Amino acid sequence: MNHFLSLALLAVVLFFTTVPRIQAEDRDRCQRRVVHAEHELHEAIEKHGRNSKRANHERRELHNARERCWRERHQWWDEHEHRWRTERDWNEHDHD
In a domain, 10, yes or no: yes
In a domain, 76, yes or no: yes
Contacts of 83-86 with CB under 8 Å at 24 or more apart are 84/27
Please tell me the distance from the alpha carbon of residue 43 to that of residue 57, in angstroms, as a whole number: 12
Boundaries of domain holding 28: 2-85
DSSP letter at 95?
A: T
Number of domains in the chain: 1
In a domain, 16, yes or no: yes
Cα 63 to Cα 14, 20, 23, 33, 41, distances in angstroms:
36, 27, 22, 11, 11
Longest dimension (CA), the chain: 70
Q: What is the pTM of this model?
A: 0.73
**6 has a pLDDT exceeding 90:** no
pLDDT digits (tens, 9 = 90+) for 63-95: 999 999 999 999 999 999 999 999 999 988 777
In a domain, 93, yes or no: no
**60 has a pLDDT exceeding 90:** yes
Helices (H) and strands (E) in the chain, counts: 2, 2
